[in-house]
Amino acid sequence: MTELYVAKFGGTSVNYPHKIDEIIRGDPRRKVVVVSAPGKFIDSTEYPYDEKVTDMLIAVAEKRRSNNDQERIQDVINSVGLRYSTLFPDFLDVVDYGLEDLRHRVFSLDICNVDPDGVEYNQYLDNIKAWGEEWCARLYARQFSWEYIDAAELLRVTNNFGDAEPFPRSDEIIREKIGIPKNVNVIPGFYGITDDGYRATLKRGGSDITGAVLASALKADLYENFTDRKGVCAADPRIVDNPETIPIMTYREMYDLAYSGSEILHPDAVEPVRLKNVPIHIRSTFAYPEEGTRICCYRKWDISRPITGIAYRNGFYAINIFQPHMNDTPGIFERVGRVFADRGIPIEHMPTGIDDMTVIFRSNSEKINGLATEISNELYSIRGETPVITDQNKLGCLVISGESMSLPEFRAVPSDVNSTLVSSGIYPEFVIRGSQKRCAIYVIDDADAKKAINLVYDMFFRYRK
């Protein structure tokens, strides 16, 4: 049976159409292509309006909602058109037709002064955001004589606008529509269609998810994710000077790093391909054919390198709760969790002592207002005692990940890292490990992040050659 590769290209990559064409022609197995909307150029001097198209489209929708200044709206639409006409100068008629479609989406509904958090506006916003990927794919199809398939024909998604998720039944639709492709099919990423017929976008960066869902449904032999980086780095190159590229890692290790701040792959893109055992290959569009990073179910463990990579994510808050006899109070976790659930705040971690607990989470300030008081009232209703509640902000989570840390000989790695941090004057508020022992999380003051990340990188990579 002929092998099939699904190749996804990110926003920076799609700014260079002939580079993508060269890559696709370089391997006949690349028959399914997913594109993002144009992002920033590698060199900002290449283009005078170096802004992500998705951000420009969001600005159009917000201007329409807030002040309806048609002249300013038209200026932004024209700037969007200029981006596409620059990339596809031989198809200006197609660009013009696409801009008419965009104007229709922008002006067909009266959404001035509607609730920006309401369903009506979010439906409207998603319809506009989806335009960027859709017309990028349409133009790629015209430029290179590929077959265009609208994502709305393939992905059935939930109606959580801006945060939609593909339904499992999308798999059968994808297989029926694409089958065994003979020619190159190009598909826009980032959105699908609801059961009510509305375009709905996935999470930001959702083109990664589109590619993963397609690769999973088609049982592809490989999911290639082309980006502007050479692969997955062992640490953030914005923080660590010239970090190593990880040659091979497992799905779980990739998920740990992606969820915890590594921005090279959306974390929700890991699970669909893991379930079907479709390998992922992170590669650079601009350093091709360099190998990059391969992601699979299993790798040989390197006993000299117990961790695979380091990630960091900031913006965390902590609510610390102390109440006598907390440990023998039934339902206390459920009651605290309900307060967060009612406010739509996901709980990230919940370390505990005997009569104290901490809830660690990320959220915006509006959802946090009055949170401590509400928790206090909830716990008072259980025992008739007022708990002591304090809060902390400007926290970050430093994560080390490596499947080999589950081995007995490497169980001490997290404590070694903690000792290194403490000896350098960084005192983690919490050290958290799950039952699988695959990763360790250090909750630290965000001000210490750069120093902490470099200390850990030096410990496992720079000085362990």
pLDDT in single tens digits along all 465 residues of the chain = 689 999 999 999 999 999 999 999 999 999 999 999 999 998 777 676 679 999 999 999 999 998 778 889 999 999 999 999 999 999 999 999 999 999 999 998 888 778 888 899 999 999 999 999 999 999 999 999 999 999 999 999 999 999 999 999 999 999 999 999 999 999 999 999 999 999 999 999 999 999 999 999 999 999 999 999 999 999 999 999 999 999 999 999 999 999 877 889 999 999 999 999 999 999 999 999 999 999 999 888 777 789 999 999 999 999 999 998 888 888 889 999 999 999 999 999 999 999 999 999 998 777 888 898 999 998 888 777 889 999 999 999 999 999 999 888 898 999 999 999 999 999 999 999 989 999 999 999 999 999 999 999 999 998 765
Find tokens 């058109």 and name the residue.
81
- Give residue 20's pLDDT: 98
Domain that holds residue 334: 309-462
Q: Are residues 274 and 364 in the same domain?
A: no
Single-letter amino acid, residue 317: Y
Give backbone dihedrals phi and psi of 119, rounded to 5 degrees, phi first.
Answer: -65, -40
Residue whose tokens read 């915890």: 260
Peptide bond into 289 cis (omega under 30): yes
Q: What is the pLDDT of residue 43?
A: 78
d(CA 8, CA 27): 14
**What pLDDT does residue 464 have?**
63
Please check whether residue 341 lies inside any domain of the structure: yes
Q: What is the CATH number of the domain that holds 286?
A: 3.40.1160.10
Question: Do 78 and 57 share a structural domain?
Answer: yes
Report the C-alpha gap between 181 and 177 in whole angstroms.
10
- The DSSP letter of residue 323 is -
* Two structure tokens written together for 142: 């015209």
339 with 450, same domain?
yes
Is 246 in the same domain as 327? no
Provide the pLDDT for residue 367. 82
E-strand stretches of 124-233: 147-148, 185-188, 191-193, 199-201, 222-227
Residue 373 neighbours by CB distance under 10 Å: 10
Kindly state whether residue 14 falls inside one of the protein's structural domains. Answer: yes
Cβ(254)–Cβ(405) below 8 Å: no
Q: What is the CATH number of the domain that holds 410?
A: 3.30.2130.10
Regarding whether 341 and 274 lie in a shared domain, the answer is no
Domain count, the chain: 2
Same domain assignment for residues 370 and 397: yes
